[in-house]
Every structure is written in C-alpha cells, then in structure tokens.
Chains A and B, each alone.
Chain A
Amino acid sequence: MSKIKAVDQLDALLFGYEDMILGAADRDVPGRNGAEVDATASFIARRLAQRRLAALPVAVERRTPHGTATRRAIPRDAAGRRRLLGRLIASRPELPTRISMAFKSRDPQDEEIAEMLEELLRSEDGPVAE
C-alpha cells in the first residue's frame, strides 16, 4: 500500500472501519436485535445496580434490622401462622427443641404459635443489646 508500517496501516484501517460502524444508519448496524445486545445490556444493568447499592450510606443499609422482612411475612390470621410454623419446623431441623416438640406432642394454641414464631425471629435477629 505505502511506506507506512503495516501496524500503523492496520490501526488506521480499524479506526476507519469503526467510524463506519459509528456512522452507519441504525438499519445497517449488524446484530442490533441479537442476544449479544441483551447480554451487554444485562451487564450494564448489573454494574449500574451494583453502583447504586455501593452508593447507599451504611446507615440506610442497616435501617432494616435482620429479621424484619421475616416478621413482615408473618400471616395475620391464626391458620396462616400455624402453617408457617409447620413449614419452618419441617424445613429447619436446628430449631429449638421446645418448639419442634410442641407440634409432636400436642396441638399448640394460637397464642403459643405466635409466641414460638416470635422466639424464632428473636433467634434470627441475634442477641438484643441491653
């Protein structure tokens, strides 16, 4: 082509080709509806979400105490609370013995169920500072 070094020629050619891509009409851009566009968009979305999370002040992050979400999930009706406690006992063998035994030996009262759920949540929150 010329006396310009091949490396420099290639760099200039790459540059020119990139200009063609940047300047092409939308309909002439290949792969504009492909899965790779979605993959890059997902990557960008993840990074932006991470950035937003990292920007949160620590105080805001800790505003929701551990266990609050679980507490919000406690059903208001007695039957719902009973079902929830039953599911927790079935899925978590490490539960305090008193709670797991309650279901095995007899049918606990509604007040007892509410108390047991509270106890479970307290154990999830960890020791409460005096």
Chain B
Amino acid sequence: MRAQAMRTIGDLDVATPDEVADALGALCPVEIARLNMIARIRARYAPGLEWRELLHEAIDKALSGTRKWPRHLPFLVFMRETMRSQASEHRRKATFGLVTTEADLPARADGESPLGQAPSLDPNQERDVFARQILDQVLSLFAGDTAALAVLDGLAQGLDPAEIQKNADITATQYASAQKRIRRGLVHAFPEGSPL
C-alpha cells in the first residue's frame, strides 16, 4: 500500500519515497530529455564527472530518500537541484579533496620547507579561470546577436527575465526569441549537448 503519511524535515513538507517512485515512473520522454540535457550541462562544469553518472546518482538519491523532494517544488526542478548540488560537491572534492600536509613531503637536505619552493596554486583561482573560459566560449557563439548576448549577460548576473528585458530594452517577444536562439545555438554548436 502506498504510504500517504506526510513527512517533514523541520518545517519542510517532503514527499515519501513511494511518491518519488511514482513521479519517476510517470516521466514522459520529453521530461526525460529535459533531465538528460540538464545532466549534460552540469556535468560539463564538473570535470571528470560523466553526465549519465550524475543523472543516475540523482535518481538513486531521490529514490533512496537521501535527497528529499520538497512538495512545493515541481519534480523536475527538484531533480535539477539534486544534480546541481551533486556537481557542486564533485567540484569541491576535485578541488579540495586531496590534502597533502608538509609532513607528507620528503624533507630537503638544507632543512628548508619544500612548501616554500612550491608554486602558488590557488584552487579558487583555477576554478575562476576555468569558469571564465567557459563563459567566453558561450558568449563567442552569439557574437553579433545583441539580444542573445544581453540575455546571457543578464542570466550570468542572476537577473530575472523582467530585469533582463528592462536592462537590454527588449520586449518579452524579443526575449523569448533570443532564448530560442540560445537553446538552438548551443545544441547545434555542440551536438553532444551544450558547451557548458
């Protein structure tokens, strides 16, 4: 029998594992295609993480209840958040996961610390450089398309559609049209998904 009991985490009302299973089982091909696309996008910015691995892990976490589905979120949005969180965790581990202390390094004959000679590698700086490269790569695809560039710039600044339209002085129709060009442009430029 399907469990109908309401489960809560703190004040958050979350779905039961049976409800998660029902939602997964009810996904139509278009919804699955949306999830596949989102997994591709997030995996692109998590080097070493394969998109199927990311998606499958998200499905497993949702089914096992490791990640709770807040009832107020549509299921696909919940899955997007799960993948986003996993990809972020993967990047964090890839950046900071391996810690080597000075004691692990071979001592120098002159008694100097080997760390004193090591090049300065700031993981945050590396991540920022990598992110900048990807941003430039995406923007270069739409060189000459003022509206698309304005939309991308607005998205990167965390603006909502209304703010982007206002800042770029474009109508809702122009905004929607630019969105379509961005979607198609990224898919056609990178058949494996998006360059992101």
User: Which residues of chain A have a CB within 8 Å of any CB of chain B?
Assistant: 1-2, 4-10, 12-18, 20-22, 24, 26, 28-34, 36-37, 39-41, 43-45, 47-48, 51
Contacts and interface: CB of A to CB of B under 8 A. Distances in A.
Interface string B121-151: 0001001110110110010000000000000
Interface residues of B, number: 51
Chain A's interface: helix, strand, loop or mixed, by majority?
helix
A9 B38 contact: no
B128 A7 contact: yes
A85 B103 CA distance: 72
Interface of B: 21, 24-25, 27, 29-30, 32-38, 41-42, 45, 52, 55-56, 59-60, 63, 76-77, 80, 84, 124, 127-129, 131-132, 134-135, 138, 152-158, 179-180, 182-184, 186-187, 194, 196
A1 B153 contact: yes
9 contacts: A1-B153, A4-B158, A10-B156, A13-B196, A14-B41, A14-B84, A36-B36, A41-B27, A45-B25
A28 B186 CA distance: 13
B34 A29 contact: yes
Contacts of A13: 135, 138, 152, 155-156, 196
Contact of B155 (A5, A7, A17, A29): A17
Contacts, number: 132
A7 B133 CA distance: 10
Contacts of A29: 30, 33-34, 37
